[in-house]
Chains A and B, each alone.
Chain A
């Protein structure tokens, strides 16, 4: 493999995550991977492909279907000098192991007064759109971001996925790395083309806690994360044809949350729509809107949100697609905003 960065080599998020992990494992013997089917299979979503061949069963460990044990074990290993990367295959499975995540992983540093470090990455898949129903399709971004003590990142493209994965592995704090299935580049899940972008070959970090402006604009700020960023970019293109210039902010991290970038954008455009595939109520959309209006309420229009309705995710494609955020719904929300003001 060449080490030069041409800036043209495109990777899927799955490949980018595996590459970041492999590079970290080559430079740091304390980094290892464990989870269900992360070994010879290479991860159900492809993000550990090639690791088992290179590093073997000791450092790329298939676990029993036993999340409480192996996530708890990751906490113990991280506190003892290792840097585990542990996979919760679907974020929906958090229900069987949340104690290890939010009571141990997220609190041991605080309860030790900062003396015990828990440098681990919990990577987990999110999102629906392929009729897997309500136990395999949720995003649950806010559930994790709500609970203090863990960083949370959500990449929208392969460049950020590699840089955020490298940063997460190097971080001395626990980081929850939430990757959206529709962005992984696995053919059988349908793939968002915009997520497969040029990725430098050398290791690099994307700063955790720093949002990106994915598209600049003057008339409207669209804020989203993960797959939602791509819906926003499509909506921005549609609005451009109508003569409106939308800015798109890709949050990239939820914890820490880059409120400054969001506020600066809304200060410029005066209009805000938040797009979130997680549930509507008590979530990311409410937090972003509150972060803006508690800082400055002089907007041109009341903020709006396009989020998942407060329902379990249905199986039938007609119902699921009706409920999911998409570009048309974002455009409609903007039209409604103009009518209201």
Chain B
């Protein structure tokens, strides 16, 4: 399955937007945290997990999804939220903890819910898989269209929740796709030190579902694999598993010294940064020229800047609003 010109430009735009958002968050996050790093300080306190480098996973999968389709994402959710069409103003405001945020500041960057586009994420490894299976069950039982996609890191494939969710989805032949973003690191522990098999897509065989592998963080490759899996789900042929070889260009979280990385690894990953690679590919294919690229990039940057201004200009909820929304 090959992406059209429009689909390729759409994926490029999502990746550029997401990357710029992360770069701006990185700068804003460090405000108030120098010279002494204190996670509680600055306009964006708390943990921050940036998705730099993993954009192809989000763009290549979400190119096949509409607002009615369900996505559950991880503690590292921004690239997926952007590609799924989460309201960017409300998302950034939530990252700042503001009243205009998706949850009025109750959730923060690991707990983004936008029911208008059926997006959610959560902070614990493997946690989104069960809910994705259940949303797929809901669609099947109600006879409604829509597939569910559960994103996870490669570390999640060692969680019990992964194996339980794949089994249940397969037993009930549900329209769900499991997408593993393999960035090779579970915080500081390398995949080969934690995972009994070299590739998690081989684990699909244990549940009688197709397993696919995408090498080299290739967004067009992600598009092809995801297109096949999502088409199968829409056609009532049940679940699939995809593992994507991607790259975490930042630390596990902001403040991570990354001393565990082998010498030269990061430089190598940066040299293979998927966004400049895709830009070159689009230029070479004649789908983009320098002027169009500059326009697209400017537009993406302005969209991010507008969301940041919106967040910065918003107020916090009164503190006692903490007591609201426990129940509906």
Contacts and interface: CB of A to CB of B under 8 A. Distances in A.
Nearest to A112: B113
Interface stretch (A13-21, A61-69, A270-278, A311-319): A61-69
B103 A113 contact: yes
B120 interface: yes
Interface in B284-328: 324-328
Contacts of B101: 113
Given A69-B130, A76-B131, A99-B124, A111 B327 contact: no
Interface residues of B, number: 42
B137 A76 contact: yes
Contact of B325 (A104, A109, A172): A109
A114 B103 CA distance: 7
A66 B115 contact: no
Contacts of B165: 68-69, 72-73
A68 B167 CA distance: 11
A122 B18 CA distance: 38
Interface of B: 70, 72, 101-104, 106-107, 111, 113, 115, 118, 120, 122, 124, 127, 129-139, 141-142, 148, 160-161, 164-165, 167-168, 171, 324-328
Given A113-B103, A151-B327, 6 more contacts: A75-B131, A76-B131, A76-B132, A76-B137, A104-B127, A110-B106
A255 to B, nearest CB: 9
Contacts of A75: 130-131, 134
B141 to A, nearest CB: 6
Nearest to A74: B134
A71 B137 CA distance: 12
Interface residues of A, number: 44
B115 A99 contact: no
A149 B120 CA distance: 18
A72 B135 contact: no
A100 interface: yes
A79 B103 CA distance: 16
A238 B164 CA distance: 52
Nearest to A120: B134
A110 B326 contact: yes
A99 B123 CA distance: 11
A299 interface: no
A30 B138 CA distance: 9
A172 B326 CA distance: 12
